[in-house]
Amino acid sequence: MTPDTAVRHQDHADHDAWGRLNPRLFLVNLSVVATPLATFAATTVITGGEINLQVLITLASFLMTCLVISGISTMRLLTTRYRVTDDRVELHKGWFFRSERSIPVDRIRSVDLTANPLHRIFGLTSLKVATGDQASSGGGLSLDGLSVRDAEALREQLSELRHARQGLATADPDSDATLAELDWAWLRYAPLTLWGVGGVFIAVGSVYRTLHEMKIDPLELGIVKDIEDRFGSVPLWYGILVTLLVIVVVGVAGSTATFIEGWGGYRLDRPETGLLRVRRGLLVTRSVSIEEKRLRGAEVAEPLLLRWAGGARLKAVASGLGDEDENSSRSRLTPPVPLALARRIAADVLRETDSPTTAAELAPHPRAALRRRINRALIWSVLLAAPFVGLGLWLTPVLVHTGWITAVVLFAAGVAFAFDAYRNLGHAVHGPYLVTRAGTFTRRTVAVQRDGIIGWSITRSVFQRRAGLLTLGAATAVGNGVYKVRDVRVGDGLAFAEETVPGLLAPFIERVPAGH
């Protein structure tokens, strides 16, 4: 059996043949071991050849860790076997701790492919068969180290088996099933995220901690000394301003690079009937499949900076995408794109003429909801300014002035956000969909199918009871699990629940006769 022919099922007898991972996975393991050696070389250059005992111990520990990881991967290469029969996928792996798993074809929800840079160098990829279990330790199986050709063949074979057993038709090969492709004009939205700036602090902190563990003082390095000698005499405000500017520039560059790496080669299409597939990634390639019969809606998310620029992101509201972390990653249907395009793609994905996230006339919420948000801004302003005032009464009047000025500024900003949050509130019933919108730092408009709502949750805080409000939560088995309609009047909320899913809430409502 050649390396690229681990899976070949050309006739019924081939179903009993066991496949193995590609031998090139051993080269990937050798590359992992090379990482600490490169780190040692870089450390030698940074320190000018002065390597102390602590550095050697740290690097030796790193090398041992990489050797253990490489050994585990090599053991997986030697012991993993898999095969596909007419009705199931079987996986056997392990030597000391033997593991055997068998998944019926009927339970397969998606077959995803992921390849990191090392895998791509050697022409390998990882294949994950998901069964839709929400727990991270649930069903499914992974094959880490197949050739790209074998992985694609295995995915096609599983798709054919699933279609044959479920009686599904295949897509017309002459039809254009592409819903969206990467447009490099979207790159203008890449810097509009806080992750780039936050990533700068995370990277600097990680490097500092690593050098500190090696007993290397970053402030004593030659390049830092040179900067201090050149710019040590500049005013403090100027140094702070330049530092912030550098952080912003590096953060924007990092956000742009992250966008290019994460969404390079992006394509959303229907490769076959009843299936959506998202392909993306420049260095780490990803291919995620979502069954349309498990798709229950769509979510348009507009982070604050992205919203100001007229952009948005689209996510699928679907079941069978794994636990919370997996769902957050696998439900992404688009990168940051123009808002109108996100809504159009939502309509195409849901097979609707108009996107339910825009066609619905959202009902406004009562003014009491605005008062709640203004009161919340006032409370936080007072709490954050109180320590300055307290210390000022004890130490110096300067802190008192600092406190009340801080309170005024925070309250003004809080009121602005409160009005924005209130304007973003809305809910409606649009055909087969419940539509709800809320949020200011990230405004989310969610359309979820009404027949997927399995229950209602009603919450009322002390302040909501005084204001005559409640928060209505639509419980579903998809996406986040509960989609909330926040701060509506009690009567309006109960009537809306009855209109959305007639009869579901009726057994729990006591009707009050007119005039009482």
Q: Is the pTM of this model over 0.75?
A: yes
For residue range 155-189, what is the model confidence (pLDDT) as tens digits?
888 877 877 766 655 544 444 588 999 999 999 99
172 compared with 358, residue with greater pLDDT:
358
Q: State residue 135's pLDDT score.
A: 47
pLDDT > 90 in the chain, percent? 31
CA gap 291, 110 in Å, rounded: 7
Inter-CA distances, 236 with 197, 201, 230, 241, 249, Å: 22, 20, 14, 9, 20
* CB atoms near residue 431 (< 10 Å): 13
* CB atoms near residue 264 (< 10 Å): 16
CA gap 256, 188 in Å, rounded: 9
CA gap 369, 421 in Å, rounded: 9
Q: State residue 229's pLDDT score.
A: 59
pLDDT > 70 in the chain, percent? 76
Q: What residue type is 433 in one-letter code?
A: Y
CA gap 477, 451 in Å, rounded: 11
Q: State residue 397's pLDDT score.
A: 82
For residue range 85-137, what is the model confidence (pLDDT) as tens digits?
888 888 888 777 788 888 888 888 778 888 888 888 888 888 888 776 654 44
511 compared with 381, residue with greater pLDDT:
381
CA angle 267, 270, 273 (to 5 degrees): 170
Give me the phi and psi of 228, to 5 degrees please. -65, -40
Q: State residue 39's pLDDT score.
A: 67
Instruction: Encode 201-268 in three state secondary structure.
Output: HHHHHHHHHHHHHCCCCHHHCHHHHHHHHHHCCCCHHHHHHHHHHHHHHHHHHHHHHHHHHHHCCCEE
Coil, strand or helix: which one is 64?
A: helix
For residue range 440-487, what is the model confidence (pLDDT) as tens digits?
999 999 999 999 899 999 999 999 999 999 999 999 988 788 999 999
Range with the poorest average pLDDT among 15-24, 32-41, 270-279, 357-366: 32-41
For 188, the token pair is 């203008």
Which residue is it, tokens 């801004």?
377
Q: Is the pLDDT of residue 313 over 90?
A: yes
373 compared with 12, residue with greater pLDDT:
373
Is 161 within 8 Å of 149 (Cβ atoms)?
no
For residue range 359-374, what is the model confidence (pLDDT) as tens digits?
668 899 999 999 999 9
